[in-house]
């Protein structure tokens, strides 16, 4: 049986690497994106993977998009919640918009997509959900109270969902990547990035493919007994 996977934020960075690895592994893959049509079109032309554009922070848009995907491609077996944004600021300067936008996309988007697929997964007694958190959910990060809160929220959300889905053959797990060689990280000023890399025992950033390998592992049929776990892939930067 060919499993169908939906990846949010799936046309660049960790999401794109995950989409390509799953496609190579024989999965049927669909990628969500929002905002950058040119990037999404280039990804589709390169891979042939279907793309669907909507804002995961919008509950109604998410339900409608998932219904459209299911009508075209069949039920979703695997959901990878990778979509995320940053709006960095120290708390005493953070605006309400900076707070809400990060919470709504990074945490609210996970609820919206999971809500859209969970009933079908329960009915079919199979599902694999992987939520992409961050090392900063575990360690905290200066200037990221919003991002750290949202990504830590994903861990609690996932543990609760794992308990709810276990008897129905559904697993929910978290990957907490360290700093990874993506566009988001390259938006960090060079002097700060050098400081970050110097704090990684491996002495470098992760590659998107290294994070994607963790996703491929967790979504496999054979990973049925891994549930509610947080897999840290961070080069030794933070060890709990």
Q: Which listed residue (27, 147, 179, 238) is catalytic? A: 147
Task: Copy the structure tokens of residue 19.
Answer: 């989409």
- Among residues 210, 208, 186, the alpha carbon closest in space to that of 196 is found at 186
Task: Copy the structure tokens of residue 119.
Answer: 């009933």
Q: How many CB atoms lie within 10 A of CB 171?
A: 23
Spell out the residues 6+ positions from residue 195 whose beta carbon is closer than 8 angstroms to its own. Answer: none
Beta partners for residue 57, in sequence order: none
Strands (E), the chain: 4-7, 28-33, 51-53, 78-81, 127-132, 170-177, 230-233
Is 147 labeled as catalytic in the residue annotation?
A: yes
| Contact of 67 with 119, CB cutoff 8 Å | no
Rounded to whole angstroms, the Cα distance separating 72 from 133 reads: 29
Spell out the residues 6+ positions from residue 170 whose beta carbon is closer than 8 angstroms to its own. Answer: 118, 121, 122, 125, 126, 127, 128, 129, 161, 164
Strands (E), 61-178: 78-81, 127-132, 170-177
Among all residues, which ones are annotated catalytic? 147
């Amino acid at each position: 049986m060919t499993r169908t996977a939906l990846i949010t934020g799936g046309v660049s960075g960790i999401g794109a690497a995950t989409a390509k690895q799953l496609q190579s592994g024989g999965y049927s893959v669909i990628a969500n994106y929002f905002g950058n049509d040119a990037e999404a079109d280039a990804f589709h032309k390169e891979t042939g993977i279907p793309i669907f554009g909507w804002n995961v922070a919008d509950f109604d848009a998410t339900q409608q998009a998932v219904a459209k995907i299911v009508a075209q491609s069949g039920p979703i077996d695997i959901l990878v919640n990778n979509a995320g944004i940053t709006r960095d600021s120290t708390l005493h300067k953070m605006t309400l918009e900076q707070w809400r936008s990060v919470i709504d996309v990074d945490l609210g988007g996970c609820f919206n997509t999971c809500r859209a697929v969970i009933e079908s997964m329960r009915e079919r007694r199979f599902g694999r959900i992987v939520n992409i958190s961050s090392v900063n959910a575990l360690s905290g990060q200066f200037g990221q109270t919003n991002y750290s809160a949202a990504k830590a929220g994903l861990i609690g959300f996932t543990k609760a969902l794992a308990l709810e889905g276990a008897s129905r053959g559904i697993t929910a797990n978290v990957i907490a990547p360290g700093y990874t060689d993506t566009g988001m990280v390259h938006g960090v000023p060079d002097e700060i990035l050098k400081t970050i890399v110097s704090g990684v025992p491996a002495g470098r950033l992760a590659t998107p493919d290294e994070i994607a390998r963790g996703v491929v592992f967790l979504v496999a049929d054979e990973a049925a007994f891994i549930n509610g776990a947080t897999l840290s892939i961070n080069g030794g930067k933070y060890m709990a």
